[in-house]
Amino acid sequence: MKYKLLGRSGLRVAELSLGTMTFGEDWEWGASKEESRRIFDAYCDAGGNFIDTACNYTEGTSEKYVGEFVSSDRDYFVIATKFTLRARGENQMDPNAGGNSRKNLIRSVEASLKRLNTEYIDLLYLHMWDYTTSVGEVMRALDDLVRDGKVNYIGFSDTPAYIVSKANMLADLQSLSPVVAIQVPYNLMRRDPERELFPMSREEDVAVTVWGLLGGGVLTGKYRDADVEKRYESASEEGMKIGDKIVEIASQIGHSPPQVAINWVRQQENAQIIPILGVRTVEQLKDNLGVLDFELSEDQIKEISDLSEFKAGFPWSFLHDEYVLELIHGKTYSNIYFHR
């Protein structure tokens, strides 16, 4: 395992993060405590230090397990958790039990600190943009937590690019703690982040932690098995054709389909990407960690990328049209070196 600086921060995190939404059986499909511990230990044995959880994962069980597992060497680990979402058992008629307001933020963080049995959170994500709380309120409240020593760094998950950009503009203007990481779903079937989020992340020097690497399992080819229940909408015929090709390429190069799908994400150069490995068994994790043993060639990356047509749309496609580029740059565009 190698390590990356997390965005514009000086924080060193493992190049692969361990997702723990599967830690706990509260949602019926998760891992037992014993299996969760085996997964955690295998990740640590590979050199991992970057653990991803959230206040509502498995009704809080995920945070409890993470807190227990890291307790023997808390300072070694970088723990990322999230606020915004309410647990299923909470009062569903309470309008302030979820969202991004200061009230819910403080309540949620205090509860997470207790479950994690820690005095501080390394990276706190806003989990989902709620379209009701102002960016100013969010950034001021998050910065207060940083100043109180309860949070070290700030991230935004599942949030539009313009919101993250505005947040960091306010941070720069008002000397607040900036957003150093975003979290998004990204895979061969879901390439939307390439449109606005990845360019924004480069401009703002923000790391991108990625979930949904396997498209709910579609990219492993498993939905071709008639005995496997198609639980995900992404298990469309088009998605399964992409999965078939991933299986074919994996067989040709002697690696598993999950490894090929994850490395396609990991090797993208249009953002500082840190994949989040989400597994239910230690065997799955060990297979996923195999991505560290090889890299896809440029030709293989292109072959895989060509499996799913992606159109950035306006304004990117318009502004990169050959005719428009010539209107702007004349005949010089191909001679310009772009370092950003």
pLDDT digits (tens, 9 = 90+) for 130-184: 999 999 999 999 999 999 999 999 999 999 999 999 999 999 999 999 999 999 9
The residues, any chain, with a CB within 8 Å of residue 154's CB and separated by 6 or more, are 123, 124, 125, 126, 142, 143, 146, 177, 178, 179, 180
- Answer yes or no: is pLDDT of 234 > 60: no
Q: Are residues 192 and 212 in the same domain?
A: yes
**Residue 93, token pair as written in the block:** 């008629």
Which residue, 181, 182, 173, 119, is CA-closest to 145?
Answer: 119
- Answer yes or no: is pLDDT of 201 > 80: yes
Q: Are residues 336 and 213 in the same domain?
A: no
pLDDT range class, residue 221, cuts 50, 70, 90: confident
* pLDDT on residue 82: 98
Tell me whether residue 76 is one of the annotated catalytic residues.
no
Active-site residue identified among 57, 65, 153, 186 = 57
Q: Are residues 234 and 326 in the same domain?
A: no
pLDDT range class, residue 5, cuts 50, 70, 90: very high
pLDDT tens column, 164-177: 999 999 999 999 99
Q: Are residues 30 and 164 in the same domain?
A: yes
Instruction: Indicate the pTM of the whole model.
Output: 0.93
Q: What does the longest C-alpha to C-alpha distance in the chain come to?
A: 64
Domain that holds residue 320: 311-340
What is the arithmetic mean of pLDDT over 46-50? 98
Position 185, amino acid: P
CB-CB neighbours of 244 under 10 Å: 16
- Answer yes or no: is pLDDT of 90 > 70: yes
**Residue 176, token pair as written in the block:** 């607040």
Buried-state track 295-328, b at ≥16 Cβ within 10 A, e below 16: ebeeebbeebeebbeeebeeeeeeeeeeeeeeee
Domain count, the chain: 2
Handedness of CA 239, 240, 242, 247 (dihedral sign): positive
Measured in degrees and rounded to the nearest 5, phi and psi for residue 151 equal: -135, 140
pLDDT range class, residue 226, cuts 50, 70, 90: low
pLDDT range class, residue 227, cuts 50, 70, 90: low
Cα 284–chain centre separation:
18
CB-CB neighbours of 118 under 10 Å: 21
Residues in a beta bridge with 126:
83, 156
Q: Are residues 73 and 92 in the same domain?
A: yes
pLDDT range class, residue 230, cuts 50, 70, 90: low
CATH number of the domain enclosing 10: 3.20.20.100
What distance in Å separates the CA atoms of residue 41 and residue 129, rounded to the nearest whole number? 33
- Answer yes or no: is pLDDT of 229 > 70: no
Residues in a beta bridge with 207:
181
Contact 79, 123 (CB under 8 A): yes
Q: Are residues 242 and 286 in the same domain?
A: yes
* pLDDT on residue 76: 98
Q: How far apart, in Å, do the first and last CA atoms of the chain sit?
A: 27
Q: Are residues 113 and 202 in the same domain?
A: yes
Q: Cα angle at 259 between 8 and 15, to 5 degrees?
A: 20
* pLDDT on residue 337: 87
CB-CB neighbours of 169 under 10 Å: 14
Report the range of poorest mean pLDDT among 218-232, 250-264, 312-326. Answer: 218-232
What distance in Å separates the CA atoms of residue 8 and residue 10, rounded to the nearest whole number? 7
Position 196, amino acid: E
Q: Which residue has the higher pLDDT, 240 or 253?
A: 253
* pLDDT on residue 225: 67
Q: Are residues 257 and 336 in the same domain?
A: no
Q: Are residues 324 and 216 in the same domain?
A: no
The H or E element containing residue 210 is strand 207-211
* pLDDT on residue 93: 86
Q: Are residues 224 and 323 in the same domain?
A: no
Residues in a beta bridge with 14:
3
Q: Are residues 327 and 232 in the same domain?
A: no
Q: Are residues 129 and 214 in the same domain?
A: yes
